[in-house]
Amino acid sequence: MGNASRAAITSDRRITGLSPDAVAELAVRTSSLWHERRQSRLASKARKRTVGPGAKHRLVFVDRLLAALAHLRHGVTHDVLACWFGVYRSTITRTIGEVRPLLAERGCTVTAGVRSRTLAEAVDYRRPRALSATPRVE
């Protein structure tokens, strides 16, 4: 993904739900942890080659983070994200599987079992309970 596309995604708060500064801070805090986990996973396998050779990532960590945030915020399908980022669907699936636990450790989670099927349900879920006219579906 090019820098212009990345800037467009991070500058529009509606896509990720976070300000550009918050995305940058989250990237700094989680990138080293992601890299450490990746290196330990590679080192733990019996290898024919040393760690390092082989195919390089087409998605840098910031792009991985943006894809995971867009998926968590909007439920964007992996196929759509693959088109946005110019990679295969399997890369997006692996990316979300790797980044989502890092975000969960930082408190960025989606409540299990909560799926808003209509705009009204999404708005109702975001309202405080005292103001809600109908009970939340959980």
28 to 9, 23, 32, 37: CA distances (angstroms): 17, 9, 7, 15
97-135 confidence digits (pLDDT tens):
999 888 888 776 665 555 555 556 655 655 554 444 444
Interval 32-78: pLDDT, tens: 888 888 878 777 777 676 666 666 667 888 899 999 888 888 888 89
Report the pLDDT value the prediction gives residue 40, as an integer from 0 to 100. Answer: 82
For residue 25, is pLDDT > 80? Answer: yes
Residue 2 pLDDT > 80, yes or no? no
